[in-house]
Structure 1
Amino acid sequence: MRKKIIFACLILLVGFISCKKEDNKNLTQPAEVETNKNNFQVTLTATVKADDNFQMYYSQDDYEVPYKEENSVWVAVKASDKPQDIVFDLPQDVIPNYIRIDFGTNQQQKEITISNFKMKYYSKSFEAKDSLFFNYFIPNDCVKILDKNNSVVQNIQPQDGRYDPLFYSEKALYDQIQLLVK
């Protein structure tokens, strides 16, 4: 009789432990995050020496000014002495015609060196390395180009006190976007 009780307890214990392991297995595995690698992606590779927040606005229509806040993506940027990728993932099914990149809100920002600009859509991509960036973007009056050959810019505050350093895309970038999405 004692053997039967011990055997029954052993079976219950094994059953309980195996159920517990299954529950723990589900808890320890990270939840799968659904990511769509087919959305339109813009990557700015730059050396940013102070923490900041960059913002990219996009227009799906003809050139629309002013850009709308709801048509923008924010990216936090950590300070680094090395080039880093600042990746703007646009919402699914959004294909921009024109974009605007705001180069931060930190008024203490140091010089920024632009190494590369890349757009990706499905398996197609377009890149503009180093100073070729300036063939596709125009700075506003809050950005001073310190060294065009080495793609070094400085955010500045004009006399009117505004601080809004940004680059508007040119028609040449619009043309590249159209080639990318065909």
Structure 2
Amino acid sequence: MRAIRFKKWIFPLILSLFLAGACKQSGKSGSDKPEHEDQLVVQLIVKVKQDDKLELYYRKGKETYNSERRLDAPIRGSEEFQTVNFVFEILEFPSHVRIDLGENPQQPEIEIQQLAFKYNEAEHIFTPEELKKYFRPNSWLQFDFQTLSGKGRVVDGKYDPFLSSNEISYFVNKLILY
């Protein structure tokens, strides 16, 4: 008689444990996965005081920068730091990047709090020393690598301030192989 009672309750018990485990698994929101899985993200935390548009041009190898390899991000002017993410397509990995710091010639000084490369769970945050070593301002940008701030300027009637990188494949490859 006891064996029949035991058999009567064992199946529902196993079934309910199985269902509870399945519900727990399906209840996961996927938050374990990064927001941009298998995509390189160049993250810039920046203070831009007037409305503007930031752009990131990129190239591979000896190519030149062009509008086909460009990511842009409109930004609202603010006294607070803002996070701008430039998200690359899957399997798109640059060897060089150029960060255009706006189109507004009236833009006051721009401050960079952080520049980071991210890939899935891996992240590289550039130190001020690395920024100075791997990036250089062009003639339209007066940039101080100690304070990480810069001001664009008009030269010969043109305005195009940017920071251009040296070869950065090392950082990208390190993230991918993490």
TM-score range, shorter chain: 0.7 to 0.9
Structure 2 portions without partners, runs of 5+: 1-34
Tell me, yes or no, if structure 1 residue 63 matches structure 2 residue 59. no
Query: Structure 2-normalised TM-score?
Result: 0.74
| Residue among 168, 175, 180 paired with 2:170 | 175
Gap regions ≥5 residues in structure 1: 1-34
What does residue 135 of structure 2 align with?
A: 137
Question: In the TM superposition, what is the alpha-carbon distance from 1:131 to its structure 2 partner?
Answer: 5.8
Contact persistence 1:43–1:118 (CA under 8 A): yes
1:31 corresponding residue in structure 2: none
Q: How does 1:7-26 map to 2 (within 5 A)?
A: none
Percent identity, aligned pairs only, is: 27
Specify the alignment match of 1:115 in structure 2: 113
Cα distance in 1, alignment partners of residues 96 and 130 from structure 2: 17
Find runs of 4+ consecutive structure 1 residues off by over 6 angstroms: none
Alignment match of 2:148 (pick from 139, 148, 151): 151
User: TM-score under structure 1 normalisation?
Assistant: 0.73
CA apart distance, 1:124: 1.2
Q: CA RMSD in A?
A: 1.6
Q: For 1:99-134, what per-residue CA distance to the aligned partner results, in whole angstroms no more than 9, with x for missing partners?
A: 111111111111011110000112211101456422
The one-letter code sitting in structure 2 at the alignment partner of 1:62 is: G
SS at match of 2:126: strand
Q: Residue in 2 aligned with 1:15?
A: none
Compared CA separation, residues 127 and 117, structure 1 to 2 (3 A): same
Tell me if structure 2 keeps the 8 A contact 1:118–1:126: yes
Question: Which amino acid counterpart does residue 135 of structure 1 have in structure 2?
Answer: K
Q: Is the 8 A contact 2:36 2:120 kept in 1?
A: no
151, 159, 162: which one aligns with 1:163: 159
Alignment of 1:58-97 (within 5 A): 58-59=58-59, 61-65=60-64, 67-97=65-95
Matched pairs, number: 143
Report how far residue 36 of structure 1 moved.
Answer: 4.0
SS at match of 1:176: helix
Distance 1:152 1:179 in 2: 27
1:98: how far off? 1.0
